[in-house]
Amino acid sequence: MKGLVLDNLRRDQLTDAISKGRRLDGRGMSEYRKLEIRPGIIPKAEGSARVKLGDTEVMAGVKIEHGKPFPDTPDQGVLIINAEVLPLASEYAEPGPPDEDAIELARVVDRGIRESKMVDVNKLVIVPGKEVYLMYVDISVISTGGNLFDASSYAVVAALMNTKFKILKQEENGSVIPTGETSELPIVDLPVSITAVKIKKGIILDPDVEEESINDGRLTVAYDQEGNLCAIQKGQASGLKVEEIMEMVKMGKEKVPEIREMIRGALEKNG
Amino acid sequence: MKGLVLDNLRRDQLTDAISKGRRLDGRGMSEYRKLEIRPGIIPKAEGSARVKLGDTEVMAGVKIEHGKPFPDTPDQGVLIINAEVLPLASEYAEPGPPDEDAIELARVVDRGIRESKMVDVNKLVIVPGKEVYLMYVDISVISTGGNLFDASSYAVVAALMNTKFKILKQEENGSVIPTGETSELPIVDLPVSITAVKIKKGIILDPDVEEESINDGRLTVAYDQEGNLCAIQKGQASGLKVEEIMEMVKMGKEKVPEIREMIRGALEKNG
Amino acid sequence: MKGLVLDNLRRDQLTDAISKGRRLDGRGMSEYRKLEIRPGIIPKAEGSARVKLGDTEVMAGVKIEHGKPFPDTPDQGVLIINAEVLPLASEYAEPGPPDEDAIELARVVDRGIRESKMVDVNKLVIVPGKEVYLMYVDISVISTGGNLFDASSYAVVAALMNTKFKILKQEENGSVIPTGETSELPIVDLPVSITAVKIKKGIILDPDVEEESINDGRLTVAYDQEGNLCAIQKGQASGLKVEEIMEMVKMGKEKVPEIREMIRGALEKNG
Amino acid sequence: MMNLIDEGGKRLDGRSFDQLRPFSMQAGLLKSASGSAYIEQGGNKILVGVYGPRDSRSRYGTNQDKAVLRCRYHMLPFSTEERKSPQPSRREIEISKVIRDALEPALLLEEFPRSVIDIYIEVLQSDGGSRGASITAASIALADAGIPMKDLVSAVAVGKVNGHLVLDLSDTEDKEGEVDLPIAVMLNSGLITLMQMDGKLSEDEFRQAIDLAMAGAKELREAQRKALVQKYFKEVDS
Amino acid sequence: MMNLIDEGGKRLDGRSFDQLRPFSMQAGLLKSASGSAYIEQGGNKILVGVYGPRDSRSRYGTNQDKAVLRCRYHMLPFSTEERKSPQPSRREIEISKVIRDALEPALLLEEFPRSVIDIYIEVLQSDGGSRGASITAASIALADAGIPMKDLVSAVAVGKVNGHLVLDLSDTEDKEGEVDLPIAVMLNSGLITLMQMDGKLSEDEFRQAIDLAMAGAKELREAQRKALVQKYFKEVDS
Amino acid sequence: MMNLIDEGGKRLDGRSFDQLRPFSMQAGLLKSASGSAYIEQGGNKILVGVYGPRDSRSRYGTNQDKAVLRCRYHMLPFSTEERKSPQPSRREIEISKVIRDALEPALLLEEFPRSVIDIYIEVLQSDGGSRGASITAASIALADAGIPMKDLVSAVAVGKVNGHLVLDLSDTEDKEGEVDLPIAVMLNSGLITLMQMDGKLSEDEFRQAIDLAMAGAKELREAQRKALVQKYFKEVDS
């Protein structure tokens, strides 16, 4: 991935600070940048949210359609998550189909949502085996300021919680039409994604774009409401020791309640 | 768009002449190059025409198939117009999928046909909401000698007027089969596209490839049978004054009957 | 096609030897390299085979699915052959969609199988006109050591002979389900592909990669069980005289029984 | 024909014939872009980022005499009623081209030979007149990027609805009405840089429609100027 | 089996076994191409344009020792019974390759190192034997472009229909018959540069089929020569 | 929930919780590749070819300071239950990336600036744990290519099945079980270079799962070493 390359001076300043348990922007090791979550900003979409996390900015939109279920899950609704980094998101971004980074982003966010069982897909069936709801969730990255995984995950979670869609039914002649009523999605968990990176020997959460550019190993963990780990993705061409991983998992777990409250709060303020 | 670049001498000659109300090939400001229209030259296609306009040469072919209507127009046949500039059409052309110029060409021709309501698509229905006729119109540019918009539009209009297709019906078991009869398309208008360009302060119609290469603004207008404007496309990265636009519209409107007669004449000669 | 370029010395040695009726690796003019055929090596596939022919190595796999027949052959099963040269197959290979060489390879192998009527596609029908068996045959080239056409053809023939698939039936409600029984494919011929090349004035069979790189004309002929020619492909940008072609055809025809026995033997050992 | 004008001569959303939809514009909200702008106009929500002038990476698109202007008009998948497939549609490709052609006449590209300027237009939510709003916003973003300009480009559509010429079509008016005529103009010189039309107008109606568009453009241009001033003072203040 | 030969030994279109379909050829009708040709043969209507030798734009395809020959065989969407999708089919890709290989032996490419020659074949209307007609026409276009050649390449298909060997298959004979065997030949040297076959022939039948093709090619070659002469005199006259 | 563990604490294929599936590895079987390896592990059959270090052909991917590592994980169309379409899936693209990231830490790429190393992984037949087996085999292939390495990378998945942590998931255990947790490790340094997880584990279970993976990796690493030694002696002998 093309991206920011820090000069040596700045790199040394950053690593020195972190080795002393500090960060150049004054944050604590576990501290997130300012997080703003604005659900419902795209009224045309069934669900939407815009998330700012420091300089990182991401939108997620949910469109609900209907269609055939996957053959191996005939009695479940379908969740499809895509991501694109808009070319205006940074000087390194380019127009075109999603590259491996955008694909990884979509798939990691997807696993956090899916494995937490956040949405009860068993309830998103119109006619078992024939017609189910399709949830298309699209992530659009507006500004790449570090920690895209968490920002995107929060945006998707908020957009799903914000979703209202038209209830559909199948008529005798086979056509699928709205009943006239609307519904929220059957939300049964609220997963939280926490990303940690190692820089030299220090471990920090929520890396900004500079910290990300010099990280020696990244770990993104999604936690469900009961405190279980429900999805993990290690990133970066580098190795992590077991102790480091366990430390990251612990720091993450401690952070989760705070983030979960912020997401909930944003939704309530809006709802 | 890559293309012809005139040397300064030739450019000056052209603009000088036009500023004096003349054109280097002797044409009047509103005069079209020699226009030849040969309908029906591809018997395998349901409709076809080859148009030569000076050095510009274009073919259009119509294939009639059947399929589902668009959801928002369940009781109308479907018209789909595509264009490709064949790689043999000029030294600048290249093989590959249509570029932005070819896409614009197809869409501008499409709007002229569609907005004039030339073909009564309400009559191209087999089973309302389920099966309608699909008109695929393909424009193949054989030689790019200037004013592709008009030449392509005339080719498509002539090909549609020349079209004969098999009438289809749906059987009880759902399959769609020919009745054995054929029909012409329900043609209810005959739109004419006129393209004007400004060169310095002069306005001319039907620019050739040299004139096109130095134009300071282009306007393509389609006129219906009642003299209304029914589609417009301004081209070129340049500005036109309102008076210039009105002058172009007026010159075009005066030219329309002559072109319409030529198209009609070619069809009658052939039919 | 990018590929091997021999130096002049080696080229001269090769052509000298061939002009004297010899080959540098000691083979006779009609002699094939060591041929190993291992059917059934991919148990997950309905049929499979791995073929080594000298340094050339190819796998073929058969997957049997069901679907609609082609409109012009409503009462026949469908055979689809694709080929890809894996990027690990040579230093000149590259990842990506099949290029013209891979497409030609697939189509030439396809014609030999299809025109010999090896598989009785009339017997591969589930519901006439509606549901038939689809045979997807994929050729994966693992090592390009010369004479890909023959090696690939043998792999496909062996994989088809090795195929066992689930018999399907259509239920009243339209869904297609397995009956619980399996079947072999209805094999009614065993075509053999023989490739000859001309080098200067000599004609040899089964060229290796060096011989291929300096060939002055290639001819691939498939023969059916009755000794008929059933598919031909001349290759290389060069000309062949009629006598040379007839000589190639004759040498090939004499070679066929030996190869056919090897294929049969490999299948029997396995079956 | 759908009834789009009420007895009192008001449109469905209560506007008079010559009234714009509510709009707002902001300059300079993207940190990494050379220039940026955000516009809301009716239901349109459009973000524009400009990068450049910067070195042209590909030799293909380089021009020795001036900067190459590139433009991508792109709709986010959730910006439309039905989910939009991420592949660029033919409509998006054409609109990208006409927007580029509408903006280029305002720019002094000769000052930046061998470089490239990229305009990225992202339609977050679409409504009628998105190409006009895109041009209006892109114009702000180009100015915000400090690219020397002869004039701002201001754009708006005029239409015909139930037989009446009306300014700044909403989505419903666009779909159910008779004519859509988007126009972009550099008001200083009166030069029209974009004009397209779908639907039937007489020559006289056409002439009136242009005047209506000009009046709307004037109002938008004032707002463009204000958005740039506001950005400037923000920078001075901070 | 469909009945393709009548009792009098005539084919569906009235031809005898060794008779070509009506054909016509013209050289040099495209203004901007280096060379061009148009052929009609049966229902085939094929236009060929040749560009080059010209500088190779991409380093990828450059050869230091000779011109690179490129060839695209392309069917227009309306050239076939069912509309042909504009994307190149596998069939078109294979035919492009074998046509290129059939033409290259006739060309003295060594005279133009580091350059490229493009052959663009456009099938306006397709019928049986379009690849043969394409080669015959492309050969004229290459000569018209002034590219030095050892010989013209002439091509035609032979087939087996209801058990009889016949020359120059029509579409119906190709689809309903037993064998299709297209052959291209440089008649001066007797070198066969294209040969493909679908369907079953004994060795003897195969030998006879080649002779039949040779006779057909001779007739076509005479017409190729005439088309070139005609073009030459047109130029001299004008 | 499907019953995947029997009363005696055995898995469907008779293995104990901490037992690997049968496996075999070979080094150096591709003639033209710089290095190669073949692995079978359960139903996985995976072939890996390494090319390089070689000159980077495209300027895009060149790095002045070290070799660029590229990796393609690719499933043959017949390797899966349902035929796999030849286009690269999003899953294949992601796995290619994480495998590349898992291998790079073991390589001394700085020794080969401005060059490229290509790892081509071909899954001939897929089963559970194909990404782990791919890493294990690719590691052998890289060593076989003579690329200087700090350590071999060994990889295996741990999972949770009917509530039990088990080593080296089969396809059925992966699909019907609760958790899949593939891990790659350089055992000398204890550095984990790949970790992904699907499904729910408590923090404690997660810690135990890592230990189980480490034990499995140790066994695989011994086999990797043997495969390389065997290749070496073969070469010495011949």
CB contact under 8 A, C241 and E197: no
d(CA F84, CA C138): 10
Is residue C235 less than 8 Å (CB to CB) from chain E?
A: yes
Pick from D36, D47, D76: which is nearest to A138 by CB? D76
What are residue B165's DSSP bridge partners?
Answer: B183
Of B43, B87, B138, the CB nearest to E77: B138
Chain D residues touching B224 at Cβ < 8 A:
200
Q: Which CATH number fits domain F23-237: 1.10.1200.10, 3.10.450.30, 3.40.190.10, 3.30.230.70?
A: 3.30.230.70
Find the CB nearest E101 among C229, C235, C241: C235
> Does F49 lie at the interface with C, CB-CB under 8 angstroms?
yes
Supply the DSSP string of C84-128, one letter for each residue. EE-GGG-TT--SSS--HHHHHHHHHHHHHHHHTT-B-GGG-EEET
Write out the two tokens for B154: 């005339």
Q: Kindly report, residue by residue over E2-42, the tens digit of the pLDDT.
A: 899 999 999 999 999 999 999 999 999 999 999 999 999 99
CA diameter of chain F:
60
Q: Could you list the mean pLDDT of each consecutive 10-residue stretch along chain E, which spans 238 residues?
A: 90 96 97 97 98 77 89 98 94 98 97 95 98 98 97 98 97 95 98 98 98 98 97 76
List pLDDT tens digits, range A108-165: 999 999 999 999 999 999 999 999 999 999 999 999 999 999 999 999 999 999 999 9
- Tell me if chain E has a CB within 8 Å of the CB of C196: no
Q: Are C144 and C90 in contact (CB under 8 A)?
A: yes
Residue F236 has pLDDT above 80, yes or no: no
E202 CB within 8 Å of a chain C CB:
yes
User: Smallest CA–CA separation between D88 and chain A, in Å?
Assistant: 9
> Could you read off the pLDDT of F13-53 as tens digits, one per residue?
999 999 999 999 999 999 999 999 999 999 999 999 999 99
Which residue of C2, C73, C221, C232 to mutate against E (max E Cβ within 10 Å)? Answer: C232
Spell out which residues of chain D touch residue B101, defining contact as CB-CB under 8 Å: 97
* CB-side neighbour CA atoms (13 Å) of A174: 3
Q: Is F172 an interface residue toward C (CB < 8 Å)?
A: no
Q: CA F191, CA E68: separation in Å to the nearest integer?
A: 52
- Asked if pLDDT for residue A1 goes beyond 60, the answer is no
- At residue E57, the pLDDT reads 66
- E touches A, CB cut-off 8 Å, minimum 3 pairs: no
For F175-226, write each residue's pLDDT tens digit.
999 999 999 999 999 999 999 999 999 999 999 999 999 999 999 999 999 9
User: Can you give the pLDDT at residue C271?
Assistant: 60
Tell me the CA end-to-end span of chain E in Å, nearest whole number.
Answer: 55
Q: How far is CA A248 from CA A22, A238, A261, in A?
A: 17, 15, 21
Taking only the tens place, the pLDDT of each residue in D39-64 is 999 999 999 999 999 987 665 578 88
Residue D55 is predicted with a pLDDT of 86
Asked if the C-beta of D74 comes within 8 angstroms of chain A's C-beta atoms, the answer is yes
Instruction: Flag if F198 and A219 touch (Cβ within 8 Å).
Output: no
Pick from F154, F178, F155: nearest CA to F166: F178
Can you give the pLDDT at residue B48? Answer: 98
Instruction: Tell me if chain B has a CB within 8 Å of the CB of E26.
Output: no
Distance CA B63, CA C224 (A): 41
Please name the member of B115, B234, B253 whose beta carbon is closest to the beta carbon of D203: B253
pLDDT tens string D200-213: 999 999 999 999 99
The nearest alpha carbon in chain D to A46 belongs to: D78
Q: How long, in residues, is chain E?
A: 238
β strands within F42-138, DSSP E: 44-55, 68-75, 115-125
- Whether chains D and A touch (3+ CB pairs under 8 A) is answered by yes
Domain extents in chain E:
23-237
Instruction: Give the model's confidence band at B146: pLDDT under 50 very low, under 70 low, under 90 confident, else very high.
Output: very high
pLDDT for the residue numbered E238:
63
The Cα-based distances of B129 to B122, B125, B136, B179, B232 in angstroms read 12, 8, 19, 20, 31
Best mutation target among B234, B240, B241, B255 (most D Cβ atoms within 10 Å) is B234
**C238/E200 Cβ within 8 A:** no
Confidence grade of residue B270 (pLDDT, cut at 50, 70, 90) = confident
Position B102 scores a pLDDT of 97
Please give the share of chain C, as a percent, with pLDDT higher than 70. 99
- Asked if B219's CB is within 8 angstroms of D197's CB, the reply is no
User: What sign does the dihedral F188-F191-F193-F198 (CA atoms) show?
Assistant: positive
pLDDT of residue B64: 98
Nearest C-alpha in A relative to D77: A138
Six token digits for residue A8: 């040596």
Question: What distance in Å separates the CA atoms of residue C252 and residue C257, rounded to the nearest whole number?
Answer: 10
- CB of B99 less than 8 A from some CB of E: no
E160 and chain C in contact, CB less than 8 A:
no
* Residue showing tokens 């369907």: E199
The whole-angstrom separation of Cα D116 and Cα D107 is 13
pLDDT value at residue D60: 57
When pLDDT is averaged across residues B219-238 and rounded to a whole number, the result is: 97
The pLDDT of residue E59 = 53
**Closest-CA residue of chain B to D214:** B242
Take residue B46 and report the two structure tokens written for it.
């349901």
In a 10 Å sphere around its CB, with 0-12 CB exposed, 13-18 middle and 19+ buried, how is residue B181 labelled? exposed
Q: How deeply is B99 buried, as exposed, middle or buried, from its count of CB atoms within 10 A (0-12, 13-18, 19+)?
A: middle
Which residue among C235, C240, C246 sits closest to E207, beta carbon to beta carbon?
Answer: C246
Asked if A52 has any chain D CB less than 8 Å from its own CB, the reply is: no
Chain A hits for F193, Cβ within 8 Å: 234, 237-239
Low-confidence stretches of chain C (pLDDT beneath 50): 1
Fold of C8-270: Ribosomal Protein S5; domain 2 (3.30.230)
Q: Is E138 on the interface with C (CB under 8 A)?
A: no
pLDDT at position B75, please? Answer: 95
Q: What is the mean pLDDT of chain E?
A: 95
Cα separations in angstroms, D90 against B81, B99, C101, D86? 11, 10, 32, 12
Name the stretches of chain D with pLDDT < 50: none
Instruction: Collect all residues of chain F within an 8 Å Cβ-Cβ radius of residue A253.
Output: 203
F203 and A239 within 8 Å at the Cβ level: the answer is no
Considering only CB atoms, which chain D residues are within 8 Å of B232? Answer: 181, 195-197
Contacts with E138 from chain B: Cβ below 8 Å:
none
Which chain A positions have a beta carbon within 8 Å of D45's beta carbon? 41-42
Q: Does D92 touch chain B (CB under 8 A)?
A: no
Cα dist from C267 to C166, C189, C246, whole Å: 20, 14, 32
pLDDT for F133-161, tens place per residue? 999 999 999 999 999 999 999 999 999 99
Q: Where are the beta strands (DSSP E) in chain C?
A: 35-39, 47-53, 56-67, 78-85, 125-127, 131-143, 164-170, 176-184, 192-199, 202-205, 218-223, 229-235
Dihedral Cα E194, E200, E204, E210, nearest 10 deg: -20
Please determine, for residue F60, whether its predicted confidence score (pLDDT) is greater than 60: no
Percent of residues, chain A, with pLDDT higher than 70:
99
Cα separation of F60 and F65, whole Å?
Answer: 14
Angstrom distance (rounded) from CA E221 to CA A220: 72
Chain B, nearest residue to D176 by Cα: B72
Reported as a pLDDT band with limits 50, 70 and 90, residue B2 is low
Work out the angle at residue B5's Cα, subtended by the Cα atoms of residues B3 and B6, and round it to the nearest 5 degrees.
145
Chain F residues with CB under 8 Å of C142 CB are: 30, 47, 122
Q: Contact, A104 vs A39, CB < 8 A?
A: no
Which among D190, D203, D214 is the nearest to B229, CB-wise? D203
Give the pLDDT score at F58: 61
Mean pLDDT, chain A, as a whole number?
95
